[in-house]
Amino acid sequence: MAKKVEFQNTSQFIFRLTSERLRKKKEKLNSERLKNKEKKLTDYNIAGFSSKKNYDDAESYQREYDINVISKIMVNDQKDKKTKYLIPAKYYTQLANVLEFSSIHEMLWGSEEEIKQYLEDMFFQIFQDGINSNNIIIKTSFTDLAYNLNEVVTDVPQFIYNNIKKELNDEFLDFTKAINVTNLIFQIAETNEWIFDERTSKVLDGTEFNEYLGFKKLNDALENFSEKKIVPLLKIELIKLL
């Protein structure tokens, strides 16, 4: 029997939002092009070619970006091995540049204002994943707080979110920018020098520290975030009830 994937609901929520963000950006650019009587932006253009014919006529080594992968990213199709994590890291810069995002972080996670807008719905996914997690630290923290709140509030996830939303927003914004990610770096006290832990950073291929968290192993990153950042917030809320 396959091992249950942790935080699947949350990662799928993020992938869906990202795919929608890419489609909407493409639609916006095409609307502007239409007003300027310019040709529409196609997936072939995103792949770096002026037309389907030029793409088809190109040698395989010249097709750095696969049109099929780009098409699947746009509709949130993760069935292909290459789109298991929605966007392969090698596509980040190309997509962000052609679709005119201000940064790779904005493309993957949205602007800071957008993050504030979807944070509540995302927390509800985290709550569901936390309650059902195989991680005993996360599961216990979520279920203990929910158990103690069930008798005093009607909507437990909403109540928790309302109480921690400011701290959660700050922590999650840092998370999306790969700031202070636990276990990725360690400090040599004598020299105050920061060293990357290569054994761990390889797992997060496509991540630029202090810039953006890539999507490879997003489930693991979300589990780590929930245990190290959300659980302490829930413990504070539990203490208030005791």
Q: Which residues pair with 193 in a beta bridge?
A: 188
SS3 of the chain: the string is CCCCCCCHHHHHHHHHHHHHHHHHHHHHHHHHHHHCCCCCCCHHHHCCCCCHHHHHHCCHHHCCCCHHHHHHHHCCCCCCHHHCCCCCHHHHHHHHHHCCCCCHHHHHHCCHHHHHHHHHHHHHHHHHHHHCCCCHHHHHHHHHHHHHHCCCCCCHHHHHHHHHHHHHHHHHHHHHCCCCCCCCEEEECCCCEEEECHHHHHHHCCCECCCECCCCCHHHHHHHHHHHHHHHHHHHHHHHHC
pLDDT at 40: 96
pLDDT at 187: 40
**Rounded to whole angstroms, how far apart are CA atoms 164 and 127?**
13
Residue 114 Cα to chain centre, angstroms:
13
* Tens digits of residue pLDDT in 47-105: 999 999 999 999 999 999 999 999 999 999 999 999 999 999 999 999 999 999 999 99
| pLDDT surpassing 90 at residue 185 | no
Question: What's the pLDDT at 189?
Answer: 43
Cα–Cα dist 65/120, whole Å: 35
Other CB atoms within 10 Å distance of the CB of residue 56: 11
- Where do the structural domains in the chain lie, given as residue ranges? 8-109, 112-241
Tell me what pLDDT residue 125 has: 98
CA distances from 227 to 65, 106, 134, 222, 230 (A): 36, 25, 12, 9, 6
> pTM, whole model, 2 decimals?
0.89
Q: Which band of pLDDT confidence, cut at 50, 70 and 90, is reported for residue 204? A: low
State pLDDT tens for residues 102-146: 999 999 999 999 999 999 999 999 999 999 999 999 999 999 999
Measured on CA atoms in the order 21, 175, 220, 185, is the torsion positive or negative?
Answer: positive
State the Cα–Cα distance between residues 98 and 46, nearest whole angstrom: 6
Number of other residues whose CB lies within 10 A of the CB of residue 142: 26
Of the pLDDT bands very low, low, confident and very high (cuts 50, 70, 90), residue 167 is very high
Distance between CA atoms of 214 and 212, rounded to whole angstroms?
A: 6
Determine the average pLDDT of the residues in 170-175: 96
Task: Check: CB of residue 184 under 8 Å from CB of residue 210.
Answer: no
Per the structure block, which two tokens stand in for 91? 């596509």
In sequence order, the 6+-apart residues with CB closer than 8 A to the CB of 51 are 44
